[in-house]
Amino acid sequence: MKDEDGDGAANVTDVELFLKRNKAARTALQGDDKYPGGDFRSPECVALLKEADIVVTNPPFSLFREYVAQLMEYAKKF
Ligand SMILES: C[S@@+](CC[C@H](N)C(=O)[O-])C[C@H]1O[C@@H](n2cnc3c(N)ncnc32)[C@H](O)[C@@H]1O
C-alpha cells in the first residue's frame, strides 16, 4: 500500500483513498440463479479458487464441512 494521502504513513486511510480513487480496483462478484455473488460455491468464486495455491480464510463455520470439502476437491492447501 502506498502512502496515498502523503501523511508519511501507510494505513487504512490510504486503503480507503486508493479504493475511492481507483474505481476499477473493485468489482462486484457475480452470482448466478443458485448462489449470490461472493458465495464460495458460485461459479466465479470457484474459478478464483482454481487460480489459488493456498487459501487463508476465516470461513463461515455453519458451512464448514461443505467449505473444507470444496478445498479438498480442488486440492488446495489451506
Ligand atoms: C467467521 S465469518 C468471518 C468474518 C470476516 N473475518 C470479517 O472480518 O468480516 C465468516 C464470513 O463468511 C461469510 N459467508 C457466509 N456464508 C458464505 C458463503 N456461502 N460464501 C462465502 N462467504 C460466506 C459471512 O458473511 C462472514 O462474513
For 52, other C-beta atoms within 10 Å of its C-beta total 13
How large is the angle between the packed helices 64-73 and 43-51, nearest 10 degrees? 50
Residue 59 Cα: closest atom of ligand 1: 10
Please report how many Cα atoms fall inside a 13 Å half-sphere around the Cα of residue 53, on the Cβ side: 0
Question: pLDDT digit string (tens) for 8-39?
Answer: 999 999 999 998 899 877 788 999 999 999 99
Question: pLDDT digit string (tens) for 38-68?
Answer: 999 999 999 999 999 999 999 999 999 999 9
In the predicted structure, residue 1 carries a pLDDT above the cut 90: no
C-alpha cell belonging to residue 4: 496515498
Q: What is the pTM of this model?
A: 0.76
Pocket of ligand 1 (CB under 6 A): 38-40, 58-61, 63
| Residue among 35, 40, 55, 64 to mutate when testing ligand 1 (max atoms within 8 A of CB) | 40
C-alpha cell belonging to residue 15: 486503503
pLDDT at 26: 78
